[in-house]
Amino acid sequence: MKRDPMKLFLWLLLVISDVLAFRKEKPVGERAVELMKKAPLIDGHNDLPLRLRILYQNRLSKINLKILNTTRTNIQKLQSGHVGAQFWSVYVICSAQNKDAVRLTLEQIDVVKRMCQSYPELELVNTSQGIADSKNIACLIGIEGGHSIDSSLATLRMYYDLGVRYMTLTHTCNTPWAESSSKQVHNFYPNLNGLTSFGKKVVMEMNRLGMMIDLSHTSDSTARMALQTSRAPVIFSHSSAFFVCNHPRNVPDDILQSLERNKGIVMVTFYTKVLACGRKVVNVTTVADHFDHIKKIAGSKSIGIGGDYDGVDQFPEGLEDVSKYPALIEELLRRGWTESELTGVLRENFLRVFKEVEKVRNDSRSMNENEDEIPQREVQNSCRLDLRNPPLRTSDTLPISFGSASVQHAEPEHPLLAITSWK
C-alpha cells in the first residue's frame, strides 16, 4: 500500500508534540501546590480553640502559636498547607447545656478574637469580601452547637454582632428545638424529631441576620426541615458521604440532592471514624472516595473542605495535620478532577454560599427582629428565670417563678421586684 508522505509527516509531528507536551507536564504534586497558591483553601472547621481551653485554659501568653507542637494546627503548618481562611470552631460541651453554655461560648469567642489579633499572620474578618481581600490567614468564627444560644434569639443576634458567621444547629445533644444525629451520648429532650416551630424561627432569624446554617451533627430530619425552611444556601461544615461510610454524622444521597438544589455545600471532613467506618487502612484515597461520590450525586460545586483538625484524634495517613491539605488536592488531580473544579472545592464554592447568605440578609432589611421567646414548657430548665407576670407580692415574700420550681425570697433582689403589682 502506498503511503502519502505528507500524511506521514503530519502524523509524526503530532506524536512528537504529544511527547513534548507530556514531558512539559509538571509532576502532579507541584501542580497541586501551584493551584493552592492561586486558590488558598477556606477550611470550614478547626477546633484549635477547644485545645487552647483544655491545654492552656485560654492563656495565650503561655504559647507561641507560630510553632506550637501540642496541636495539629499552628501558623507555620497553616501556611505550609496553603490555608487562606479558617473557620475557628467555638464549641462548648453539651454538658454545659442549660448551665453556663453562654458564658463558655463567649470565652471561646474571646480567645479566637485575641488569638487572631495578636499574630500578624492572622486577620479577623466577617464578610465574604473580607476573605477575598485578606493577604493573611483570614479568621472566621462558627458556633458548634445550638445549645450555645440557650434557646434565645436575642443571644443569637448578639453572637452575630460579635462576628459569628455560622452556627451548627446541634452538637451531640438535642437542644429544645433541634434534633442531633447522636442518639446515645446525652439524654436532653429525647422525644424531639427534627426542628420544632421555634427551631424554624432560629433558622429564619439566621437567614435574616446573614448567619450560615450549619447542618453537620444534626439528624437527617433536622437537616431536611432546615433545607425546606432556609431561604439561603446551607453548609455542612464538617461531614462526609453516608453512602461511602454509613455513619450518622454523614450526609445521605437524598440530602446531597436537596443540597445541590439549595446551592449549599458539604465540606468533607477527615475524621477517620466517619470516613472509613472501622476499616483498618485509612489514607488520602479514602477521603478522595467521599469526594468522588459527592461529586457523582450533587456535582463538584456542592463540595468544600472542613478538616476538623484538633476536634478529633484520628486522621488518615498522609493527612495528619493542617500542613497536609496539598496531598488531597494531588490525589484528586490524579483522579481527573479539573483545576476549575478544585478551585471551587478549595474556595469558590464556599464564597458563593457566603455571598448568597449575605444577599439574603441584604434582601431582608425590611424585616424586623423576631421577638418571640421559646415556650417555657419546651425548655424544661429549672435554672431559667421567667420574669414575666410574676405573681402578686405578698406582705414580705416574693415568689419568683423558676419554670416549674419556685423560690421564696425574704427580701426582693432588686427594687423593681418590690412593686406591688406587675402587669
Residue 328: how many other CB atoms lie within 10 Å? 25
Among the listed residues 308, 310, 331, 341, the single catalytic one is 308
Which residues lie below 8 Å from residue 93, measured CB to CB, with a gap of 6+? 171
Report yes or no: 139 and 86 within 8 Å, Cβ to Cβ: yes
- Cα–Cα distance measured from residue 4 to residue 421, given in angstroms and rounded to the nearest whole number: 108
Among the listed residues 43, 47, 123, 214, the single catalytic one is 47
DSSP state of 122: E
Which residues lie below 8 Å from residue 103, measured CB to CB, with a gap of 6+? none
Nearest to 300 by CA among 332, 331, 334, 270: 332
Among the listed residues 82, 186, 217, 293, the single catalytic one is 217
Among the listed residues 45, 147, 290, 293, the single catalytic one is 45
Which residues lie below 8 Å from residue 302, measured CB to CB, with a gap of 6+? 256, 259, 260, 264, 265, 266, 294, 349
Among the listed residues 186, 238, 247, 293, the single catalytic one is 238
Active site residue 217: yes
Active site residue 45: yes
Which residues lie below 8 Å from residue 38, measured CB to CB, with a gap of 6+? 343
Nearest to 174 by CA among 403, 380, 385: 380
Active site residue 409: no
**C-alpha of 230 from chain center:** 16
Active site residue 82: no
DSSP string, 150-165: TT-HHHHHHHHHTTEE
Among the listed residues 43, 82, 123, 144, the single catalytic one is 144
DSSP string, 265-289: EEEE---HHHHHTT-S--BHHHHHH
Among the listed residues 171, 186, 290, 293, the single catalytic one is 171
Nearest to 63 by CA among 120, 71, 323: 71
DSSP state of 302: G
Q: Which residue has the cell 497536609?
A: 324
**C-alpha of 319 from chain center:** 19
> Helix, strand or coil for residue 65?
coil
Q: Are strands 212-214 and 137-144 parallel, antiparallel or unpaired?
A: unpaired
Give the residue numbers marked as catalytic: 45, 47, 144, 171, 217, 238, 308
